[in-house]
Amino acid sequence: MELVRLLPPTVFWPRPKVHSAIIKLTLEPDRRAAIPDLVFFHQFVRSIFFHRRKFLRSVAISAFKDKLSKAEVDAVLQAQGLGTEARSEQLSVEQMLELSERFRAVAGSMPEP
């Protein structure tokens, strides 16, 4: 990630109460290639960040409602050392990859939205 430019609230209308930034993201092909199922990972990340302020448990239960029981979701989260109050936004990239792979192993695929 590269910071390109900082923008003050005065450049927007209506003016927000925060400063903004323009960033440049550069993909790392080696890291992407290390993800076993890129499509599943993208769907998984999108589903867990759909309601990022909700607890991860409730988001995962909703995302896998047709594939996994609440007990199975709890078992996956517990195996990753994630408590009932964990939130998606608290996860590192490595934790998201590991969690995605655990859910993929148990559920097999993401349910259709």
Task: Give the 3-state secondary structure of residue 111.
Answer: coil
* Residue 113 binned pLDDT confidence (cut-offs 50, 70, 90): low
Structural domains of the chain sorted by starting position, each given as residue range(s) with its CATH number in brackets = 2-107 (1.10.8.100)
Annotate 58-85 with DSSP letters as a single string.
Answer: HHHHHHTTTT--HHHHHHHHHHTT--TT
pLDDT for residue 3 is more than 70: yes
**For residue range 8-48, what is the model confidence (pLDDT) as tens digits?**
999 999 999 999 999 999 999 998 899 999 999 999 999 99
What the block records as the tokens of 8 is: 């003050």
